[in-house]
Chains A and B, each alone.
Chain A
Amino acid sequence: MKIRVILQSLFIILLFLIFFINLNSQRISTTKHNLSSGGSGTIKASSESEICIFCHTPHAAKPRNPLWNRDDPGITYSLYQSTTLHASLGQPDGSSVLCLSCHDGTIALGKVASRSTNITFNSGITTLPSGRSNLGTDLRNDHPISFLYNAALAAANGELRDPSQLSGGVTLSNSKVQCTSCHDSHYSIYPSFLVASTQRSGLCTNCHIRTNWSTASHATSTRTWNGSGTNPWPHTSYTTVQDNACENCHNPHNAVTPVRLLNQSGEENNCISCHNGNAASVNVWNEFASTRTSKHDIASYLGVHDMAESTIPSSKHVECTDCHNPHQAASNSPAATAPNASRLLRGVKGINLSGNAVTNVSYEYEICFKCHSSASWRQQAYITRQIVQTDTRLEFQSNGPSFHPVAAPRGNSEVPSLISPWSSSSYMYCTDCHSSADATSSQKGPHGSIYSPLLKKRYKLTETNGQNNNDATDFALCYTCHDRNTAGKGILQNMSFRYHSSHVVDEGVSCSTCHDSHGISSSQGNSTNNSHLINFNTSIVSAYNGVLRYDDTGVYHGRCTLVCHGKAHDPYTY
Chain B
Amino acid sequence: MVTIEINGQQVEAEQGQMLIEAADKAGIAIPRFCYHKNLSISASCRMCLVEVEKAPKPMPACATPVADGMVVNTQSTYALAAQKSVMEFLLINHPLDCPVCDQGGECDLQEFSIGYGDDKSRYAEIKRVVKDKNIGPLVATELTRCIHCTRCVRFGQEIAGMRELGATGRGDWMEIGTYISKSVDSELSGNIIDLCPVGALTSKVSRFTYRVWELASNDSISAHDCVGSNCNVQTKNGEIKRVIARENDAINDAWISDRDRYSFEGLQSDERLTTPMIKKEGKWAEASWDDALQFAVNGLKDIDDKTQIGAICSPSASTEEMYLLQKMMRGIGSNNIDHRLRQSDFSAQDQDPVFPGLGMSVADISAQQAVLVIGSNVRKEQPIMGHQLRQASLNGANISFVNPVDFDFNFNVAHAFTIAPSHIFKELKVLAKATLENSLSAAPGGLAALVSSVKVTDEHKQCITELSEADNSVVMLGTLIQAMPNYASIRMLASYIADATNSTLSYLSPGANTAGAYLSGLLPNRTHVSQATSTNTDGLNTQAMLNANLKAYLLYGIEAERDLDKPVQAVNALNNAQFVVSLSAFVTDAIKAHSDVILPVAAMTESSGTLINAAGSWQSFTAVSKAKGLSKPGWKVLRVMGNLFNIGGFDYQSSEDVINELKSEGQSETSKSSNQISWMCPENISAQTSDVQRIAELPIYNVDAVTRRATALQQTQDAQVDCARINSALAKKLKLEESQPVTAKQGDNTADVTISIDDRITDNCVYLPAGNVAASSLGGGFDAIELLSKS
Is the A/B pair a real complex?
no
